[in-house]
Amino acid sequence: MPFQLIPQDMIFLLPAVLVALTIHEFAHAFTSYKLGDPTPKYQGRLTLNPIAHIDPMGLLMLVFFRFGWGKAVQVDPRYYSNRRQGTMLVSLAGPASNIVLAFVTLIFFFFFSQVNFVGTLLLRIFELNIILAVFNLMPIPPLDGSKVLASLLPHNVAYKYSNFFGQYGFFVLIALVATGALRVIINPIYSLLVRGMVTVVSFILSPFI
C-alpha cells in the first residue's frame, strides 16, 4: 500500500529518510568521481556520513510532506569523456541506488518481518527508497529525471527545455504538492514497483521461507 505518514512512525521514518537520502547523494558523487570528476572528493561527498549529504530543510520537507531533497552534489561534466552520457549516468545513479537498496531491504524484510522493530524499520526504508527513486525520476528540473531527459534530447531541444523549465521547475513541484497531484502521479508507479519487487523477491526466496 502507498506510504502513509503517521506521527507514531517518526522513530522509523527519520532513520529511513537519512539512509535513503545519504545513499542517493553518495551514488551521484561516487559515479561522477569514477567518471573522472574530482569535485565530489574535494567537497567531501565521497562518504556515507549522512551529515555530508543532508539538507536540513529538504529533510524536514521529506519527513512531513514526502517532498524533499538532500544536499545537491556539485559535479563538473567537463571532466567526463562523453559529457551527455556522463551527465545521464550520474543523474540515474541516485534513483538507481534507491531501487537497489529497496530491493536488498525487501529481502531482509522477508526474514525479519516478525521482529516488530526491525521489520517496521526495514519496511520504512524500503518504502522511502521507492518513493525517492520515483520522485527524482520525474522530468521536472531540478530533479534527476530532467537531466536524464535533457541528455537524450537533441542539443537544441535540450537547451530550450532546460532553459525554460529550469526557471519554473521548483514552482511546478510546489504546485504538484499543494494540489495533491504529486501523490496521484507517484502512487500508481510506486504500487507497480512494490508489487513487482515483492513478486521477484518472493520467487527468489521461495525455497527459504
- Return the active site residues: 25
Write the CB contacts of 129 (distance below 8 Å, at least 6 apart in sequence): 19, 20, 23, 98, 99, 101, 102, 105
Closest C-alpha among 128, 129, 29, 19 to residue 72: 29
Q: Which amino acid is at 188?
A: P
Question: For residues 205 and 184, what is the distance between their CA atoms, to the nearest angstrom?
Answer: 32
**Helix, strand, coil content of the chain in percent (nearest 5):** 75, 0, 25
Enter the DSSP assignment of 113: T
